[in-house]
Structure 1
């Protein structure tokens, strides 16, 4: 692993432990050249995934981008970071275990909306407003009606 500080390729692992409910390994590393310390995470990747955009373009799946999208929807909401991590890991597992190497961007959005509905209603509405491309207040009203109908 290359040192992020001095770019040396000779770093040493000082500590390893399971992370994210055992689906990742957290490693503390130190660079013998500059003394810099940093953390890396290793995750199992079942297959290489590509995201098929609406435009027809294919881009590599990026777990970090998925996490950022969820975090933006959850900004300033009091949700346990471990629950967020589990939700994102669950989405990734669903995508990888689907058997497909290409997944439509709409499918990822649908899975994120399902996960956010279980985490926080406000984040769900925030994400839906972008995902469904809301254009007027009526769109919010309709979505809130759907939410209210599911609670009854």
Structure 2
């Protein structure tokens, strides 16, 4: 059986290192599944933007060190965000527009940056054809139906671990 390809949102990494015990336990279980070869874990290149306002240098360093152990997948290239040599990708207009519309991002230049980064994380996941996107972000979780229609399965990490441990239901 091939390993499931899982993408984690930045909040899964942060809460896995610094969050409440329940979220740390889910992160540890995810890492155990990776060690067993059952899942492959990736983060998108938007980690840098998500961490850009964190003033705690030691915390940022710890988060980047932990992130370095995961695969990196490219988010859509954006002017004033992407750097030359980054892994950002040229976006498929149709899917990028579908995700932007689902999140109410009509004009990226004036959109809430956190919402824009959410769209970018999800696009990276979709374009890399990964299996499950894990997040604690309520606005993303609340859009599961529309995201599933767009080809993206979204789950809370605790839910994923619980279902993974139980296995497929008959």
After TM superposition, the score normalised by the length of structure 2 is: 0.26
| Structure with greater helix share of residues | 2
So what's the TM-score if we normalise by structure 1? 0.28
Q: Please tell me whether Structure 1 or Structure 2 has the larger radius of gyration of its CA atoms.
A: 1
Higher strand proportion, which one?
1
